[in-house]
Structure 1
Amino acid sequence: MNDERYLSDRFVQNLLTNVNLIKYRIVRFKEGYILSNYSNISSYTRLDTCSILAVELNDFR
């Protein structure tokens, strides 16, 4: 597992908390997932860490 691509759950949880539930898009991207909102805050993460949010799931192939 590539640590640069799969950031820690704690980092992701802090990110989600700090942006106060801004609407997110989670898209499948190659072997991982990218989490992004509309304020250009983005990071690679596993999908399950963000399951607490209502999301739109889009597949990039």
Structure 2
Amino acid sequence: MNSPQHPWHKSSYSSSTGECVEVSEGRETLMRDTRNRELGQVSVSAAEWSALINAITK
């Protein structure tokens, strides 16, 4: 699932060593491993994504 309105981008929390997570944010947030895109993605609601980011940035 990807739309031109919500393209994939590397998370700002990903390291520069190639251990990257990509996200596509919209009504729901999709996450995938940059190196293993073919394995699919994890989907969470926008509220869940916001709660996760708030929890890990405190």
Instruction: Normalising by structure 1, report the TM-score.
Output: 0.34
Higher helix share: 2
Query: Whose Rg is larger?
Result: 2
